[in-house]
Amino acid sequence: MFFKKKKKSISKNPFYNSGENLVIYFRCDKCNETFRSHLRKYYDIAVDYAKGGSMYSLQKEYIGSKCQNRIQISAVFNRAFRPQTYEITGGSFIAEEEFEKQS
């Protein structure tokens, strides 16, 4: 029997453009802790030379304060920092409004 890996993402782009940063909001699958992370475009997101330098890639890992669950986020962006692919493991993307309600 074959099992499909469940992709965890919201239907729209989870990366909010904020000047020199991209902001993401997500929740831990284990303890429901919510996170907001500011990613610096030219520091946290690196040029992907394997793709000829025309794309950027992101690999981040987060551990919250409530549990030791690891949340991994990976993404590939074009030169305008629009995500081409993105994936989250150990958590799920949430909208900014949902994060603000819980804060």
Tokens matching residue 86: 């993105």
Tokens matching residue 102: 């819980």
Q: Tell me: the pLDDT tens digits for 19-37?
A: 999 999 999 999 999 999 9
Residue 53 is predicted with a pLDDT of: 85
- Strand (E) positions, 1-103? 16-18, 21-28, 34-40, 46-48, 55-63, 70-77, 83-89, 91-93
102: helix, strand or coil: helix
Furthest CA-CA distance within the chain: 47
Tokens matching residue 73: 């986020």
Q: Tell me: the pLDDT tens digits for 64-99?
A: 999 999 999 999 999 999 999 999 999 999 999 999
